[in-house]
Amino acid sequence: MLGRTSSTRDAMRGSARLIVLVSLAGVAAGWASDTRTQAPPPVTGQRSAPGPNASTTGLAAPMSAPLLGFVWDQASSTVRQVAGVPGAALGGSAFLSNLGFTAAGISPDQEIALLTNGTGVLYAVALPPAGPPFALASGLAADVRAAFSPSGKMAVLYSPSATSTFVITGLPTFPEVREVSSLSGVTGIFNAIVSDSGTLLVARAGASGVSISTAGLNAQLTSVAVVGQLGGMAFLAGTESAVLTDAQNNFLWKVSGIGGAAGPTVLANASDGLTQPGLVAVSLDGKAAWVIAAGSTSILEFSLNAAGHFTNRIEAPFPITGLARLNGGCVFALEGPPQGALFVLDGDWPAGRIVQVPLTPLPQPLGGLQ
């Protein structure tokens, strides 16, 4: 998720200026601002393109080194490539240095990054970058935030100070920014997530707590639940189900049928070991949820198939401020460590673990993208 920027003076002006641009691989000419409406050509993924010695029969296809994914390095304002697997990984190549970006979000499929610089312009770039980022939309709030769907094919753009909310469809090859008409004029959205089909869950503060509502490009704003204090929420991949935490009342909820007759079910509460549950992340197979206690370093694992006590507990070496999915069924980069360090939650490990990933020194800027 894109973090909050330092300025909130610029609110969304009605709706963002839609910019359907050339493909992500064809932006070497500069920071594009083409407003043509025809669909751009498809993007060829940098990591899936066959090499010069690749066999057309598939019998001698070259093997590529494992890639854990990409992370946003807040300390150096760069996107880093992380090679290897959990427990044997190295944070190496740094991209987009010295371009003035203040926040970035990496898609769960590790194919694209969305970046902001606090000016209300949203940029996008394919990963690994083959050229400079291009402007995807302008006229957004300075503190615009983004959250990807579990598959990374969609994203939602929102801001507490804005009067418009947007969904990006067609990621990563044909990104298109579309305003959610049912949320036009709705302010105070401080958290939002989107399913793989485009269904939204949005959170707004109210007199009796936090209102959780559903909306969509073709769906009206509908109330789902009211919680005391939202800790976090996340959609399950390929479903209209989500989990959310209530930090005030110590609940972990699973909500099914979102967009229709949504039905919340309690998965855990204080008697099951929950204490001020905050951030939450789910495994790709939808079987487990990892919950981070607010103001604590404890990470608790819960089953999403049966209510009850946590099944695993891991202590982080620092307070966690965010989770960013990496390649794997349940692997996340932990945000909030000391500068110059990278830690990874490996939920695929039988007992779960946190591993530190060494970082190589940043290379000296060589131009090109500056």
The string of pLDDT tens digits covering residues 39-67 is 333 333 333 334 444 444 455 556 678 99
% of residues, the chain, pLDDT over 90: 71
DSSP 85-115: ETTEEEEEEEESTTS---EEEE-TTSSEEEE
Per-residue pLDDT band at 263 (split at 50, 70, 90): confident
Q: Is the pLDDT of residue 35 over 60?
A: no
Q: Is the pLDDT of residue 7 over 60?
A: no
Q: Is 184 left (phi over 0), alpha (psi -120 to 50) or beta?
A: beta
The string of pLDDT tens digits covering residues 175-225 is 999 999 999 999 999 999 999 999 999 999 988 899 999 999 999 999 999
Rounded distance, CA 116 to CA 96, Å? Answer: 12
Compute φ and ψ for 181, nearest 5 degrees: -65, -35
Is the C-alpha dihedral spanning 137, 140, 143, 144 positive or negative? negative
Rounded distance, CA 337 to CA 317, Å? Answer: 8
The CATH code that applies to domain 183-315 is 2.120.10.30
Poorest-pLDDT segment among 99-113, 187-201, 337-351: 337-351
DSSP character at residue 164:
-
SS3 70: strand
- Residue owning tokens 């990278």: 342
Domain boundaries, the chain: 1-6+16-26+67-179, 183-315
Which residue, among 294, 300, 306, has the nearest Cα to 281 in the 3D structure?
300
Rounded distance, CA 192 to CA 201, Å? Answer: 6
pLDDT, residue 211, reads 96
**Amino acid at the residue 80:** R
pLDDT, residue 9, reads 34
pLDDT, residue 170, reads 96
SS3 337: coil
Q: Is 256 exposed, middle or buried (0-12, 13-18, 19+ CB in 10 A)?
A: middle
State in Å, rounded, how far the first CA of the chain is from the last one. Answer: 24
Average pLDDT for the chain = 83
Per-residue pLDDT band at 339 (split at 50, 70, 90): confident
pLDDT, residue 1, reads 53
Q: Is the pLDDT of residue 18 over 50?
A: no
Q: Is the pLDDT of residue 29 over 70?
A: no
Rounded distance, CA 340 to CA 117, Å? Answer: 21
pLDDT, residue 207, reads 87
pLDDT, residue 67, reads 95
Whole-Å CA distances, 29 to 119, 126, 173: 22, 15, 18
The string of pLDDT tens digits covering residues 115-172 is 999 999 999 999 999 999 999 999 999 999 999 999 999 999 999 999 999 999 999 9
pLDDT, residue 63, reads 67
